[in-house]
Amino acid sequence: MAIRHNVTNRLRLLVLGLALSGVAGAAADAPVLDAEAGPCALAITVSDPENRPVYAAKIRVTVRHGFMGLRRMSLEIHTDAEGKALLTGLPGTPKKRLEFEVTSGRFYTIVSAYPSSRCREDRLNVRFKNRDLLPEEP
């Protein structure tokens, strides 16, 4: 009876360990937003002036696509604890370059990007500078 009880406890610990490792693995993935407008993807990383990742930085972009760029889509995503976010489903040939508004606390900057020919592997690194600080409110 003691052997069976010992084996049961080991199985419980194994199942609990596997369940916790699955949760930790899922939490490590960057937030993903699918625009469903094309085949391209863009991995975005946001860091502060000291090159540390910025958590919950807001990234906004308006994508124009379709005939004469008449279709518009406004997207917004926030970064994870590692300062990362992933936009997928971007059009391969947008009508205008993509301008990303990135804000976090008092930091604000605009970064432009145009999808390359290898648009599935594009990366955008945004690093706030001290001059990107918004003025304090009175």
Instruction: Look at residue 85 and tell me if it is in a domain.
Output: yes
Q: Give the total number of structural domains in the chain.
A: 2
What CA–CA distance (Å, rounded) separates 121 from 100? Answer: 18
SS3 state of residue 63 = strand
Please report the pLDDT score of residue 107 as a whole number: 93
Please report the pLDDT score of residue 20 as a whole number: 44
13 lies in the same domain as 79: no
52 lies in the same domain as 94: yes
18 lies in the same domain as 37: no
Instruction: Look at residue 63 and tell me if it is in a domain.
Output: yes
52 lies in the same domain as 104: yes
pTM, rounded to two decimals: 0.73
- One digit per residue, the tens of pLDDT, for the chain of length 138 reads 555 545 455 545 444 454 444 433 334 589 999 998 888 899 999 999 999 999 999 999 998 877 766 788 899 999 999 999 999 998 887 767 889 999 999 899 999 887 776 777 789 999 999 877 777 766
User: 35 lies in which domain range?
Assistant: 31-132
2 lies in the same domain as 56: no
90 lies in the same domain as 105: yes
65 lies in the same domain as 24: no
